[in-house]
Structures are given as C-alpha cells and as structure tokens.
Chain A
Amino acid sequence: MYRSRPENLNLLNFRFPLTAIASITHRITGILLFAAMPVVLYFLDQSLQSEAAFEQVKEDFLGNSAGRFLLWLILSVTAYHLCAGIRHLIMDFGYLEGLKSGRMAAIVVFVLAGVLAVLAGVWIW
C-alpha cells in the first residue's frame, strides 16, 4: 500500500454535513452503551437477587431524579444507536446511499431517535 498519502484531518477545517454528525453520534453512543453495561448488569443482578433487592434497585433508579435521568440517558442512547444501526443495516443492502437519500435517512434517524427519547421520558416519569 502507498505509505505516504497526503492526509488532512484537521477537524477544525471541516464543515460537517448532517450524515457525518449522524455517523459520529452512532460511534459515541456505541462507546456510551459499552460504558453503561455495568449499570445495566447491576440493575439485572439486583432485580433477580431477592424481592427486597428488587424493590431497592427500583427505588434507587426510579425514586429520585438522578436515577431517572441516568435510566433515561441509557434508553435514549440505546434508541439512537439502534436507529442509526438499522440505517447501517439497510445501507448494507445498497439503499439510502445517495447524497439525497443518505441525508434524508440521517434526518429520519435523528427524528425517530428523538421521538423514542421523548417516549422513554414519558415512560420513566
């Protein structure tokens, strides 16, 4: 492979198109989901432990605003990664890859994830 290709990745030079923002957000939500795994596993662990632990963990997460916010954040991040992931899977089949359709799909992903985040909020609060 050519080893000395010119590269310009000074991020401040770019104006980011919507599709690039959709892509980096997918990446960030992937990292966040990975970071959230201990919380999810802790939740499952406590829920299965005993009746008392189940009530306690429910109280810890749903009984105060910090816990609710954390739970909402995890659900919203999941919603985004899921929607953007499905967009990826559709693109695997050769759709939504044009300039216009790609942009449109990015918008749909943002809107859909937004709606799901609101619904998650309604569910939790």
Chain B
Amino acid sequence: MVTRITGLTKNGLTDFVLQRFSAYVMLAYGVFLFFLLASSPSHAQLKETFSTPIVQWSSLLVVLLLSAHAWIGLWTIGTDYIRERAFGRFDVWLRSIYQLGSAALIVFYVIWSIQILWSS
C-alpha cells in the first residue's frame, strides 16, 4: 500500500479538480489549435499568430495546466503500479526515482515551451 502522499497539491480532491479543470481548458485550446492547423497556415501566419500576447499567454497557461494534468496523471499511475507487492522493499526508492524523472521531464518541457513562445 502506498502511504506517502506526494501528489501535486497534497490533497486528493484538489488534484482531482485540477485534472478536470486542465482537461476543460486543454479541450478549448485544442479546438483553437485544430482550426489553426486546418487552415494550413504559412510560416508567416503561424509566426504572427504566436507572437500576439493573447496567444502567447494563453499558450503558457495551457502548458502549465498540462504540466499539472500530466504530473497528477503520472503520479496516479506510479502509485498504482510501483508498489511493495511488485517491487518489495525497493518500492519507495523506485517510485521516488520515477517521480523525480517525471518532474524533471515536465520542468524541461515547460522551459522549452517558454523559450519557443517568446523567441519568435
């Protein structure tokens, strides 16, 4: 059994709500992306779209919400499978490494996203 709680917000309900909220926002952003891509934009059009402040800041918001969504999701999966039953006394070690790896990847994605959004 997993007793250590290292989800995103230390509160399961908050995590749950955050995962739903991020899903709604990503859905809306997805509709925007879909119509953008469906219009077969040229490089100039894309660049223009992504250099408007509204698009930049809402994209950043989506990236941050996506990070929360993925963090919570990956944490759920980790605590479901990396457990004492399967990994004996190494479970906490393994889960910590998994959690650190996920966190590192998420931080890397966020920094890269910011760089993309504000360098164009």
Residues of chain A whose beta carbon lies under 8 Å from any beta carbon of chain B: 1, 3, 7, 9, 27, 30-31, 34, 37-38, 41, 44-45, 47-51, 54-55, 82, 85-86, 88-89, 92
Contacts and interface: CB of A to CB of B under 8 A. Distances in A.
B34 to A, nearest CB: 10
A87 B67 CA distance: 21
A82 B30 contact: yes
A27 B30 contact: no
B85 A48 contact: no
B43 A47 contact: yes
A38 B109 CA distance: 7
Contacts of A92: 20
B113 A41 contact: yes
Interface string B78-108: 0000000100000000000000000001000
Contacts of B119: 48
B77 A48 contact: no
Contacts of B120: 48-49
B112 interface: yes
| B: contact size bracket | 20 to 34
Contacts of B25: none
Given A34-B70, A41-B109, A41-B112, A47 B24 contact: no
B28 interface: no
B20 A48 contact: no
Interface of B: 1, 20, 23-24, 27, 30, 43-44, 46-47, 50, 70, 73-74, 77, 85, 105, 109, 112-113, 116, 119-120
B26 to A, nearest CB: 9
Contacts of B30: 82
Contacts of B47: 48
A9 B86 CA distance: 10
B116 A89 contact: no
B23 A89 contact: yes
Given A3-B1, A31-B77, A82 B27 contact: yes
Contacts of B50: 48
A49 B44 CA distance: 10
Nearest to B1: A3
